[in-house]
A and B are shown apart, each in its own frame.
Chain A
Amino acid sequence: MPAGTLYRGREGMWSWVAHRVTGVTIFFFLFVHVLDTALVRVSPEAYDDVVATYKAPIVSLLEYGLVAAVLFHALNGLRVIAVDFWAKGPKYQRQMLWTVVGVWVVLMAGAAYPVLNHAARVLFGS
């Protein structure tokens, strides 16, 4: 790879990129989510109709993706705070990122059943 195509690279830069991408993703979802919740002021039917689309299997998969984005952003955000406020934070930023990734994998495994089992039942029967 030619030099100079990546800014520093490695864990520090890629966690920063992932933090931005997940942050923007969550922000756009939040905008839509407030709009759909506002339908409770229109009528119970309007709200329930939209929530019914959220129970479709493909949307459950997107929901799992949203959980992935939120969990990474939350855990890596705590790491950023540790880097900024803990005296040894910058020294251990790399170890902390791999800790974040490890905790993220465990939590994602734990979230798979509750978030996806409804979709699995719809798709494959129970």
Chain B
Amino acid sequence: MSTETSPTSSVEMTSSSAAHSPDNPAPVIQPPRARTGRAPRSTRTNFEMYGWLFMRLSGIVLVVLVLGHLVIQLVLDGGVSRIGFAFVAGRWASPFWQFWDLLMLWLAMLHGANGMRTIINDYSERDNTRFWLKMVLYTATVFTVLLGTLVIFTFDPNIR
């Protein structure tokens, strides 16, 4: 061993490193996140980003649809006191209002379901609880969207 006091002199090479030299370089180590041929295919998608974007885009559309809905149902021409079967029949005689309500139903339910999914993910700690809460949420959401869609498309003003 040298007795010089250069900064590196106190560091001893271990046997495996000591053997390396420009003629015998150390093996290249892959960066931690590099995907090699042996790694399984990535299962990561941009689902959460699209969910985030959907909340904002549907939100802007819903502001118009829902506030318009509230003004029509609760403010104009007597508000809630005039609502009844005949009122619904009059509105849904027009494809415009059918489409309005259909779009509102789908966007609001998906917007709300995604919000509830976020909240469940945030607050339920046990895997089982989280899984079942989301199953209940998805079941209720699919049921409600399908029921509402069916009602709008099969509405019959002459049911009686």
Cβ of B112 within 8 Å of any chain A Cβ, yes or no, is: yes
Q: Mark A25-59, 1 if CB is under 8 A from B, else 0.
A: 01100110011011011011101100100110000
Contacting residue for B88 out of A24, A40, A74, CB 8 A: A40
A60 neighbours in B (Cβ, 8 Å): 80
Contacting residue for B109 out of A30, A48, A55, CB 8 A: A30
Contacting residue for B56 out of A37, A70, A81, CB 8 A: A81
CB within 8 Å for A23 and B80 given contacts A40-B85, A40-B88, A67-B74: no
How far apart sit A85 and B88, CA to CA, in the bound complex (Å)? 39
How far apart sit A85 and B56, CA to CA, in the bound complex (Å)? 10
CB distance from B84 to the nearest CB of A (A): 5
How far apart sit A31 and B140, CA to CA, in the bound complex (Å)? 8
Q: Mark A7-28, 1 if CB is under 8 A from B, else 0.
A: 0000000000000100110110
Q: Mark B99-123, 1 if CB is under 8 A from A, else 0.
A: 0000001001100110110010000
> Mind listing 12 A-B residue pairs with CB under 8 Å?
A23-B115, A30-B109, A34-B109, A35-B147, A41-B150, A41-B154, A43-B159, A63-B80, A70-B66, A84-B56, A118-B80, A118-B81
